[in-house]
Every structure is written in C-alpha cells, then in structure tokens.
Structure 1
Amino acid sequence: MRPGSAAPAIAPRSWAMLAVMVFGQASTTVVTATPAFLIPYLHADQGMSLASAGMLAGAPHLGLVLTLIAWGALTDRVGERRVLLVGLSLTTLAVVASMAAQGFVWLGVALVASGAMSACINNASGRLITGWFPAEKRGLAMGIRQTCQPVGMAIAALAVPALANAFGIVGALAFGGALTLISLLACAVIVVDPMIPAKALAQASSNPYRESSALARIHAVSVLLVIPQFVLSSFGLVWFVIGFGWSELAAGALVAGAQLIGAAGRIAAGVWSDRASSRLRPIRLIALACAALLVISAAFGWADWAIPAAVAYVLVSCVSVADNGLAFTAVAEIAGPRWSGRALGAQNTGQFLASGLLPPLIGAMIASLGMPATLALVALAPLLAAPVLPSEELAHATAKRTVKAVR
C-alpha cells in the first residue's frame, strides 16, 4: 500500500470466510486436544497408566505431523474448498470410529486417523484467508485466525473433563466430532475458493525453495520460536505451584490468563505488520523482546519474587506467541498460490515436530537445573532466531518471482 493511499475495503464475504475458518480450526483443535484432557479420567476412572494415557494424548498429533505436507500439496492442486469438504468429512468419520473403537490399540489408531484428517484445515485455511484478503489486511486476518488454537484449547479444557465424567469417553469424543460436523456444513454453504487470475498462476509456477533460502530460514526461525512458547505454556503451572507455592487454582488462572492475552497479542502483531508493510521486521523485534523477557523472568525466579515473576511470565507468554501469524502470513505470501499449501504444511510440520520432541528434554532440564536456569537457557532460542530470519530484500525478491501479480 502506497503512503497516503486508503486501505482497500474488505468484502463481507471475506470476513465470512475468516469466521468459518476460525470456527473450523478451533473445532479440529478440540478434536486433537480431547485425548489430552481425558488423561485424568482415563487414569482415575478407567485404571489406565499415565504412560498409556499419554500415548493416546499424543496420537492425534502424530497423525497431524504425518499428513500436513500431503494435505498442503493436495490444496495446491485442487483448491481449498474441495480439501476442506473432503478432509472435514473424513475427520468426522474418524471421530465416529474412535467413539466405536474397542481396546487401546484400535482407539489409538482411530485417534491417529482423526489427527491426520483434521490436518486438512491447517493449510487450506491459511491459503483461503491469504487469497480473500489483500496484503494490507492479511496480518490482521491471519492474526485473528491464529487465535483459533488457544480458543479451541480453552473450549476443550472446559468441556472435555465434564463430558467425560457425565457421559464417558464416547460423550467427550462426540463433542469434537459434533463441532467438526457443524464446521463442515458451514464450509459447504460459505466457502468459495479465491479467484486467482490464470495469468498470475502461470507466472507463479517456480519452486520458491529453489529460488532462495528465505522460506527455509523462516521455517527454522519458527521452530526456534516455538521452544519458549512450549516451555511457558506447558511448565508455567508447575513453576508457580512448586517453585512459588501457589495453589493450582491460582497458577492455573495465571496460565489461562496469559494464553488469552497472548491470543489478543497475535491480532495486535498482525495489525502492526500491516501498518509496517512488513512481516519480518516485527518477527525479529518480537524474538529479541522474547529473549530479554525470558532472562528477566529467570532473574525474578532466582530472586524468589513471585509477583514480579508472574508479571514477567504473562508478558513473555504474550510476546512468545505473537510471531505465529506473522510467520504463517509471510510463508504464504512468499510461496505464492502454487506452493503456499506445501509451504504452510512444512511450516506446521516443523513446529509440531519440535513440540513433540521437547517434553523429555525440557523436563530433564527443569529437574536438574530448575525453572529459572531453564528459562535463561531457552532465551538462546529466540536470540538465535533473530539473525537466522531472512532479510526483507531476500524475501521480497523471492516473492516477486513466485507471486508476481497475485492480488
């Protein structure tokens, strides 16, 4: 957007697409998160060991990692609407199969399948929003889209344990399936593939990974920046309960509040990137701020100052997730309409793999060094991310060769 020019008007249909994608992504997040929130019920009421329950909790995420790139490639080939209709239909069927599954093995297989099928929306929603919103408003739109994960997690945290206690595993699983079915119907009624001129598609045929290292470097940066996100969200409760002697209720409220503020922070970061006409400069500043706040949090932890540590924890939790929508938007814009599905799939795959590999390592670090020292060491990840991020010039040059006239 040229300085002084008016921002383009956004068609109501574009906002409808965004609303459907947010609901759909939140629904599939409930599907993949449900087994994790079933762990207390499976352990206490069903007599399942924590190790076995943990394996079931990880099953949907295994499915996600295995199929994200494949769904992205299919989206590039056949378009968003078809992928969403087929994928959400298969997700609903997989949830039904998990409800009917008998025994640990078959339940695990069905949960892997539900995660694998639900991955359809991760890439398709990003492509759809990128296509329906102009560049000057994509940061805002993608920031709103990125709130779907914390919203879905919050819904699952509130609903799944209560449904399990009232209706058992079947009732808890059915909740996510019902939400997915509703999102499928909404997609069938509302979703339309964005209109991309044939000339633009012809000009956007080159492989962006061969053009430059820009996308690979953004993927690497996102993997580095997911490390503090994971540590803060997964071990914050433990830190304040064990490290500062807070009650589980108080610590849980702090963590939940930090997540909700972080969701708002994603939207604010998107607006910032739109006004700055840049996705990468804000990411670099966010990475440096995250590193600084992690060190400050560690210092308060060493000093045993609970309230300052809580304030720093909320701030760094908010900052640590602010880059998600920006990186996702940058990847889609640089990759272009023929490659964005696969590129977004690679982006998500790297983050999910990192999140899956981190728990034992971070747990061991906290056990041997304590939470403050772990936070200080984790600060190295965003510090390293800042120089790895590609320059604006490299990103723009790559985008020109792959995106060209797409608007």
Structure 2
Amino acid sequence: MGYRWVVLCIGALAQGTNAAVFLGLPAVTPQLRDHFGLTLPQVGLLLGAVNLGTMIALVPWGFFADKRGERLAMAIGGFGAAVCLAAAALGNAWIAGVCLLGAGLFGASVNAASGRAVMSWFGAEERGFAIGVRQTSTPLGAAAAAVALPVIAAAAGVPGAFVALAAASGLIALAVAVWVHEPPGAVRASADHGLILKDPRLLRLGLASGLLVVPQFTATTLLVALLHEHRGMAVGTAAVLFAVAQVVGGFGRLGVGVWSDVVRNRIGPLKILAVTIAGGMILTALLDQAPVWWLVAVLVPTTALAVCWNGLAVTEAMELAPPGRSATALAMQNSANYLSASVTPPVAGLVAAHVSWPAAMLLGAGAAVVARVLLQPWRSLRASSPQNSRSVS
C-alpha cells in the first residue's frame, strides 16, 4: 500500500526534527558558551541534558507506544517537546538545562514510537532499507540544524534558535496527529513486559550500541570546537564541515541498511563498522597537529562512519522482539545509547580541555573496540525472529 510510504516519511521527519535538538545544538556550542557564560565541560553538560531526559523516558514511552499506539505517543511527545524548547528561550543556563531535560523526556516518544510505525508497515525483506531511511533522517536533521541554527543564533540570538526548534517540533507533532495510523491487524502488547526486559540478547546489543555512541558523540560534539578553538578554523566553516559529516553519515545509514538486507544479517556489517570507526578515531588522534586540512580529511569521514551504524542495531533489536513489543525493544536498545550520549559530551569535553584532544579521540576508539569484542560471538537471529514473519503489502 502506498500509505506505508506516508508513514515512513512522517516518521522520518519526526525523527529528524528530534535529532535537530540533540544532535544539531552542538553546532552552536560557541554561541551557547557566550550566551550563558559556560566553559567547554559545562556546555557539554547542557547539551547532555536532552540525552539524559531521553534516556530516562525511552522505556516508558516504548511501553506506552506498544500499548496505545505510536500515533498518540508521538503526538503527545512532540507537542510537549515544543513547549519545553520554547521555554528554554526564556531563562538562564539552569532554566535552559531543565527545559532541555524536559525536551528529551518528551522527545523520547519519537525514538520509541517512530521505529514501531515503520516496523509495522514494512516486511523483513525491505526493513533494513526502511529503517535506514528513518535512521538517515537523524543525521540529516542534525545537518540541517547545523546549517540553520548558527545563522538563526547570529540573527536572533540563542533564544531564537530554541524557538525555531520548538516550531519545527510542534508542526511535526501536528502532522503525526493527522496522518499516522497503524496497519490493519496491528498487534498491541499486553501489560507484561518482564520477559523482553530480561532478554540477554537485547541487553548485550544495547551495551554494544551504547559503547558505539561514545565515538559518535565524541566526534560530533567536539568537531566544531576542535576545528574552531583548537585549530583556529572559522566557526562557520567548521559548522559546514559538521553538516557535511552528518549528511554523509545519514546516507551511510541508508547504505548500510540496504547492505544488511542483501546479506540478510545486521550484526556482521555492524562488526565491520566498529573496527573501522576505531581505526578512524586513532588516526584522527595521530593527526592532531598535522595541517588542518589533513585533519579534516580524516575527521569528517570518521565522524560520518561514527554516525552511520545505528540503524543496524535498531533493526536487529526490533527483529528480536516478540510481536507487539518492537517499541519496547527499540527503547531498551536506545536507553544505553542515550546514557552514553548524556555522559560522553561532558566527559569528552573534560578530557579534551584537561588532558588533550587526541586523548578524547582515543577514548572513542577504545569504546568502539570494546563494542566489537561484545559483538564477537553474536549471530544474527533474523531468520528465526517472530517479527520477520510480519509484512504489510
């Protein structure tokens, strides 16, 4: 049915708008520091507030979406995030931090529910591609924000950037409320979620995913600051490079989704990416004092690689879930991601400021290596998963 593409489009737009908040705001790190008078580690804490809120609320929103449907979950969450983002424009750093925490608490609904919507409408043979489209919207949303937010912040200040994000979130929530519906015969979950919360495969996948977020957020959080403050590049040029990395990483998510469909395996490609990311982070650390464009030639592709892996883990998590539990499984997998996303910006900023920029990159490389070790004994269970028998034509 053609309607499934409507669901995919709106789900991807919702995901991209949410990503503009938690991944796009680092593009205005210098403006945030100036506006609120923060140090680099402090602005890392501010940016991490969104991810902390998301991490706290992911599993409850997953329960809600599996029980009440993704349309209601995303609409409530989107409107709530819009209110919080608008309120962030009104206060000091403490008020902004609390409001960004609230934006994460509400925005978590999109992460849990939009994946369920896509999972419900697409069969196993094209699910890697469909989830790849949904996941591609995350870095593309971040890239759009990286281009737009510095311009908005320069013209209307940091409050103007928050208001722009609030408006986008509210518009997408309205689109969800009007156009998103479940397919005929969609399975709703019962109140018992105990078994899925104890599934060792999902727990291990979540831990590996959380470790892979460390290089992702080390690279994305520090890219602009590293090139601008550490190497003297103009902030506008650094922001454009940030956007380029997000766009390339976004299309990479689509590509690795198709790759996983072709090989009928999600984890094999994920292992390869973990090793490649680790190598790129190590090379970035070694080129710290090289000519700046040599550094850029490694840092930007490495950042793109660090962005592109997520759809594989998302798809594997939902395919491991029992029928009607895909939002909860996705929320479990993403919880570790957002814990890492909350902790990594301040820790990476602290290491960069008080140890060295190469040490921060090596921290990301080490986490990728540990993730690869965790995935070593894994064999994708795609063929036997109950989710893989479902398809809506």
Match of 1:63, as an amino acid?
Answer: G
State the aligned residue count.
Answer: 388
Contact 1:265 1:318 in 2 (8 A): yes
Match of 1:83, as an amino acid?
Answer: A
Describe the superposition over 1:166-210 as per-residue Cα deviations: whole angstroms up to 9, x where unpaired: 455654333223222321232233211134466x979x9882454
Could you tell me how far apart the structure 2 residues matched to 1:131 and 1:156 are? 29
Match of 1:327, as an amino acid?
Answer: A
2:132 equivalent among 143, 153, 174: 143
Could you tell me how far apart the structure 2 residues matched to 1:53 and 1:224 are? 22
1:381 aligns with 2:370: no
Match of 1:26, as an amino acid?
Answer: G
1:353 aligns with 2:371: no
Contact 1:196 1:406 in 2 (8 A): no
For residue 78 of structure 2, what is the aligned residue in structure 1? 88
Relative to the length of structure 2, the TM-score reads 0.84
Structural RMSD (CA)? 3.3
Could you tell me how far apart the structure 1 residues matched to 2:28 and 2:136 are? 23
Could you tell me how far apart the structure 2 residues matched to 1:161 and 1:250 are? 11
1:363 aligns with 2:342: no
1:255 equivalent among 242, 246, 249: 242
Offset of residue 25 of structure 1: 1.8
Going from structure 1 to structure 2, the CA distance change for 1:365 and 1:339 (only over 3 Å counts) comes to same
Gaps of 5+ in 1: 1-10
Contact 1:334 1:395 in 2 (8 A): yes
Query: SS at 2:183's partner residue?
Result: coil
Gaps of 5+ in 2: none
1:125 equivalent among 114, 125, 133: 114
Contact 1:301 1:309 in 2 (8 A): yes
Going from structure 1 to structure 2, the CA distance change for 1:42 and 1:241 (only over 3 Å counts) comes to closer
Could you tell me how far apart the structure 2 residues matched to 1:172 and 1:237 are? 17
After alignment, is 354-363 or 271-280 more displaced?
354-363
Relative to the length of structure 1, the TM-score reads 0.82
Contact 1:298 1:371 in 2 (8 A): yes
For residue 390 of structure 2, what is the aligned residue in structure 1? 406
Could you tell me how far apart the structure 2 residues matched to 1:336 and 1:327 are? 16
The one of the two structures with greater contact order (alpha-carbon pairs below 8 A, sep at least 6) is 2
Describe the superposition over 1:199-223 as per-residue Cα deviations: whole angstroms up to 9, x where unpaired: x979x9882454x521111111111
Matches within 5 A, 1:245-284: 246-284=233-271
- The percent of aligned pairs where both chains have the same amino acid is 30
Describe the superposition over 1:259-316 as per-residue Cα deviations: whole angstroms up to 9, x where unpaired: 22111111110110011111111101111222233333344447x3654443232332
Could you tell me how far apart the structure 1 residues matched to 2:375 and 2:20 are? 32
Offset of residue 382 of structure 1: 1.9
Going from structure 1 to structure 2, the CA distance change for 1:235 and 1:179 (only over 3 Å counts) comes to closer
Query: SS at 1:223's partner residue?
Result: helix
Contact 2:132 2:255 in 1 (8 A): yes
Could you tell me how far apart the structure 2 residues matched to 1:168 and 1:250 are? 19
Going from structure 1 to structure 2, the CA distance change for 1:205 and 1:163 (only over 3 Å counts) comes to closer
Could you tell me how far apart the structure 1 residues matched to 2:272 and 2:155 are? 47
For residue 210 of structure 2, what is the aligned residue in structure 1? 223
Going from structure 1 to structure 2, the CA distance change for 1:36 and 1:309 (only over 3 Å counts) comes to closer
Query: SS at 2:381's partner residue?
Result: helix
